[in-house]
Structure 1
Amino acid sequence: MEVLIVGAGAMGTWFGEAIADDPSIDAALTFADVDEDAAERAAETVGGTTADLEGTTTYEAVCVAVPMRHVEESIERHARRAERAVLDVTGVMATPLEAMAAYADDLERASLHPLFAPERAPGSIATVRAREGPVTDSLLSALESAGNRLVETTAEEHDWAMESVQAAAHAAILSFALAAERVPEGFQTPIYDELERLATYVTGGSPRVYADVQRTFDGADAVAEAARAIAEADDEAFESLYDEAAERWSAREGVDDGETDVQNASRSANGGERE
């Protein structure tokens, strides 16, 4: 199967590796990227070739693996190079699927979102099969054979979920990273340690990727509003907010004395006092 991968970054390379490793497809992979050196490196990694972004050669399948902000224009430009299928691995779903319907309505279409960084593969992949067929079925089967789990969803459900899974989560962690200080050894609690670990992980990535998430999905404003409400709350209001959070996350379910496992651990670490 001849596959053109538009975008030779980490996610495009991951997709190429997963497909190249499946002998049932016998994939011939080609990379095209604004960074020709990146395309060369990705092609070398999977034993593929490179192509010009303005080329006219066609392929059985075209996979778009560009930053979210460029997915619509990329599909508009490159869907014409697909003979049978178009798919994307950009992280947003409504926008690329609408573009595919507009520019590749007669082709197989699928949107995929690997819910992990490429270096942590395999993992769960959110999957929307807008128009199924043998080409997309083969590609998805190859991803499953590589150990990934396909999570079937809709564009609406996925993009709604990403408001919490990505936008709100990233905003909360980055806010902690900006507001908190590193403390001397011995002062850490289990909760602080976990937040420090998450802050270190998030700030070790690409700011452009996280900026794209905030630009694409709502969620950060809700985090800011919640933090403001907590900061301004008196004791009664704080307890009400705490109870609302506990009820939403079922934090007290199955835990004696209204404490979560993390709270119990924190209390033990602090000589019996609540954190």
Structure 2
Amino acid sequence: MIKMNVGIIGGSDGLGKTLIYYLRDEFDVYITGRDHKKGRHVADEMNVNYIESNEGLANISDILVVSVPIQHTCDVIREVAPFMKSGSVMIDVTSVKEGPTKTMGEALPENVEYIPTHPVFGPRTTRLDNQVIVLTADRKGKWYGKVYDYLASKNMRIIETSAEKHDFMMSIVQVLTHFSFISTASAIEKLQVDISETEDYESPIYNLMIDMIARIVSQNPYLTYNIQSMNSNGDKIRNTLAEAVLELRDVINNGDEEAFIDIAIKATKHMGDITNALGRSDKAIGALSYEYSYLNDSVGEEVGLKHIYSGKIHVGILESIDGKTAVLRNGTKTKKLRIANIRIMLPDELHQWKIENLKTVTKSISCVFPKNVNVGIIQKTVLMHDNILNIKLTDAYNGPQIDDDSVSLTFEITALTKDDIDQVKVLFTGFGGIIR
């Protein structure tokens, strides 16, 4: 089966680079970037193809994804529109949809379809499962169903709406949220508060809030500014928030308790399903507490910790933890890992990883047993040990030096470590055997 060509303009950075992970196994992926040296490096690193020309990329792509900064999106659409293959489709992934939707409709020829999209997740997202993607196509051709079905096959939550409705909703989801979070971070900076010092006093809710604020303010500030400045609803949203802040400030400064309570109750009632909100936040708090408790109980034991973003697995003896860091020892080496960036591997998951990644040990053990010993039971009992991968009988001997009522059995054992082999010897003696 011939793979389709997927081109990503802007594939060397941000979301464009992230998309390579999701697409390269199913499509022939080609990318462009502003910095050709960096672009070629990313392409080589991720085993995809690099092309220096946006126009050349458009000319060979069955599916062309425009993943460039918001302020350049419409210009890039106009730049490559004349070079698109007949029967191909253009997809953009910007978080503002009115401008790109209108530009694609005007610039692309009739024989090229376009599907404006907004993946509502960032470059740090590791899975498409349950992630939201918004489609704002103002007309649907043959490609639309194919793209929809592909996204559905990845278990994504697909929202179909107009560009205008999308941009209004994003003015709440992004513009209002980012503006209020950055304002809070800016106030903390102006107050010259040491965030690390507040950790001694923090509640779980404060902890989650600070993490969410830090996540927003650490994003590319140019992108955040363009989300603010290029959404047509932005002025109204920011002005309304500023008015609400000033109103609340004045009510408290004037000692008007009744007005404060009225504002708080109205706001609470408008928040929708409070019960679900409390449940979700309780889950988040519970997850943080469980993770810390699990690690605390595992000090001195072997654990597997998977880095959330790189996917790298770290296995070793957990020496210690504090509020932020886990210290893992593997042999003579120790490694410090930020707890916020790791996921604890479940025992079965860690065991499977060991089987697939560690060098196994195979050794033969000869042992004298009573003649009526049940070989099948011995083998089943040995295999109950998690780190024993295989046991097979290779020899049974009843000649000289072996009593008539005994038999010497030789088993070939494959295990994860030499220590596991030694444990098998202990099991054999438990069955009445004598190691030869």
Q: TM-score range by the shorter chain?
A: 0.7 to 0.9
**1: CA distance, partners of 2:84 / 2:159:** 25
Please say if residues 86 and 109 of structure 1, whose CA atoms lie closer than 8 Å, have aligned partners that are also in contact: yes
User: 2:131 matched to 1:113?
Assistant: no
**Following TM superposition, by how much is the alpha carbon of 1:74 offset from its aligned partner in structure 2, in angstroms?**
0.9
Shifted more, 124-133 versus 104-113: the winner is 124-133
**Following TM superposition, by how much is the alpha carbon of 1:45 offset from its aligned partner in structure 2, in angstroms?**
4.9
After TM superposition, the structure 1 = structure 2 runs for residues 1-275 of structure 1, keeping only pairs within 5 Å, are 1-8=4-11, 9-22=13-26, 27-53=27-53, 55-56=55-56, 58=59, 59-83=61-85, 84-106=88-110, 107-120=112-125, 121-122=127-128, 123-180=131-188, 181=193, 182=195, 183-217=197-231, 218=234, 219-233=237-251, 234-250=256-272
Could you say which structure has the higher helix fraction?
A: 1
Give identity over the alignment, percent: 23
SS in 2 for 1:63: strand
CA deviations over 1:74-130 (Å, ceiling 9, x no partner): 100012222221110111111111000011151211011111113223111111233
SS in 1 for 2:159: strand
TM superposition score normalised by structure 1: 0.82
**1: CA distance, partners of 2:164 / 2:218:** 30
| Alignment match, 1:272 | none
**Following TM superposition, by how much is the alpha carbon of 1:203 offset from its aligned partner in structure 2, in angstroms?**
2.5
Please say if residues 62 and 79 of structure 1, whose CA atoms lie closer than 8 Å, have aligned partners that are also in contact: no
**Following TM superposition, by how much is the alpha carbon of 1:7 offset from its aligned partner in structure 2, in angstroms?**
1.0
The one-letter code sitting in structure 2 at the alignment partner of 1:210 is: T
The one-letter code sitting in structure 1 at the alignment partner of 2:35 is: D
Structure 1 residues 94 and 175, CA, compared in 2 at 3 Å: closer, same or farther?
same
Give aligned pairs, total.
256
The one-letter code sitting in structure 2 at the alignment partner of 1:47 is: N
Structure 1 residues 85 and 74, CA, compared in 2 at 3 Å: closer, same or farther?
same
SS in 2 for 1:226: helix
CA deviations over 1:165-217 (Å, ceiling 9, x no partner): 00100111111112233353442234322221112212222112211111122
Structure 1 residues 42 and 147, CA, compared in 2 at 3 Å: closer, same or farther?
farther
Could you say which structure has the higher strand fraction?
A: 2
Larger Rg: 2
